[in-house]
Structure 1
Amino acid sequence: MNDTGQAKPLLEPERAVTAARTRVSLIADGLRRDIHEGRFRPGDRLPSEAELTRQHSVSRTVVREAVALLRSEGLVEARKGSGVFALNPADAQRRPFSDLDVERLSSVIELFELRSAFEIRAAALAAARRSAAQIEAIVAAHEAVAAVFDNNQSTRQADFEFHYAIAEASQNKRFPEFLSLIRPGIVPRVELEVGGGVPRTYVPNPDLIREHEKIVEAIFDADPDRAEQAMKLHLEGSLQRYRDMLRHNSERERQGSRL
């Protein structure tokens, strides 16, 4: 990293971290699709950890993370000594956060308010508890965000990975589990609609990289108070942008109703 927020070239270990996360998503997406399409019906046993490891040529850690993601979504359950079994996806739809509408600004705001309540604390815990490997993962995730930002691409996926790496570094497994639980509702900014089904033009937060950099620096320096403050400013800044957007849309609708 440098003071301009430009990303350094990714090193091999950093590429490995990003690739592992991608493989987790791919495996989880495939199993999720199989459950929703009925290949695995409620009560069916999923392939074993060893089988999935062989099928996808990945480590057991990657498979476990993919299964943990599905467990957080209520799509599978692990039975001790028996394996992992599919649950009814209709029941999963009734789980918390399943009704989040990511195209409604009001839902976006609700989610950011909730994220602020726990991610600010997660950043402080990460600064106090992170391991050397977790620092490397956070830095790699930050640089991945900077890379897509510099290419004018959506930062949605990379941004999630950044926040997830911080949650893992808190050493409290409930933080990354909770982040995975609300992941479907973490907003794809490019998909928010202006009105009438017209997609909103993707406009990234111009201060995103510098805000992330301040969080990374505080965690690296093992400064919980500074990490907490940096995360608070980052999330509250995003929250305020969406509140302003909602206010603007409401004013425009009122003006349109007078015509």
Structure 2
Amino acid sequence: MSSKIKPIKSVSLVEQVEQRILEFLKENRFKSGDSLPGEIELAENLGVSRNIVRESLSRLRMLGVVESKKRKGMFIAEPDILSGIERIMDPDLLGEEAMQHIFELRLVLEVGMSELLFIRKKDSDIVKLQEIVDREANDPLCKTDLQTRLAYEIEFHSYLYKMSGNGTLNRFQSMLLPVFHFMMQQESKAAAEPKRGSISHNDLVETLRNGTAYEFRENMRNHLTPHFSKLS
């Protein structure tokens, strides 16, 4: 026989019950705010002890799927999809490959959010970005001090995420900052003078002011060329 029997995954009883509760919630179309059956009812229906159900519910609570209210029981919560990532987004905890992948994700997000920026940009946003650009241009430390350059880089690009009007995207970018800062530091060690793209922050502001979403996407890609050129 050419086909092979797939190995059985080792899954604890708590994990099985957790999965079955999730399936139950989906099958019965539970929504945020709906009340869950009690521990006793769940234990009887699943044929396990209350301790197993309690532990499974505790895991779901940690994921933000359920919440408990004093004297009212358990309810479906609206999960915070970024909370788990937020806890471990630390260069000291992540391996080199993981940080490289996260840095690449940042590049993809910045090139890809041009449509959102053009849909939601306001005159006040252009004024704010121009103010950052002018401070950067008039700061003599930008030519000699990497930390100063990084500070302006982070301030400018962080404001673009804020302009997107997408709270999840903006929060995710804030979580990426430690990895972004670490990777930029690593790049600076590899070259005496980190390279810059031919498109500056000022060029990007001008494109936001008078250009199109397509032009901005192309210019952002050019702006980030030094980083893209290092990908393999």
Q: Cα offset for 1:113?
A: 1.6
Matched with 2:153 is 159
Residue 115 of structure 2: which of 97, 102, 124 is its match? Answer: 124
User: What is the identity, as a one-letter code, of the residue corresponding to 1:226?
Assistant: E
Structure 2 residue 194 is the aligned partner of structure 1 residue 204: yes
Structure 2 residue 127 is the aligned partner of structure 1 residue 150: no
Matched with 2:131 is 140
Describe the shift of the 1:204–1:220 C-alpha distance in structure 2 as closer, same or farther (beyond 3 A): same
Equivalent residues, number: 147
Contact 1:108 1:187 in 2 (8 A): no
1:187 alignment partner, SS class:
helix
Q: Cα offset for 1:227?
A: 0.8
CA RMSD across the alignment? 3.4
Matched with 1:184 is 178
Q: Cα offset for 1:135?
A: 0.8
Deviations 1:149-205 (A, max 9, x none): 2344431121111001111112222222111011111134674299xxxx6565232
Deviations 1:118-157 (A, max 9, x none): 2122233223321111111111222344434234443112
Residues in 2 aligned to 1:159 and 1:233: alpha-carbon distance in whole angstroms: 15
| Structure with more contact order per residue of length (Cα contacts < 8 Å, sep ≥ 6) | 1
Residue 217 of structure 2: which of 228, 231, 256 is its match? Answer: 228
User: What is the identity, as a one-letter code, of the residue corresponding to 1:228?
Assistant: R
Deviations 1:38-81 (A, max 9, x none): xxxxxxxxxxxxxxxxxxxxxxxxxxxxxxxxxxxxxxxxxxxx
Structure 2 residue 227 is the aligned partner of structure 1 residue 238: yes
User: What is the identity, as a one-letter code, of the residue corresponding to 1:177?
Assistant: R
Structure 2 residue 204 is the aligned partner of structure 1 residue 215: yes
TM-score (norm 1): 0.46
Q: Cα offset for 1:228?
A: 1.1
TM-score (norm 2): 0.51
Contact 1:103 1:192 in 2 (8 A): no
Structure 2 unaligned spans of 5+: 1-82
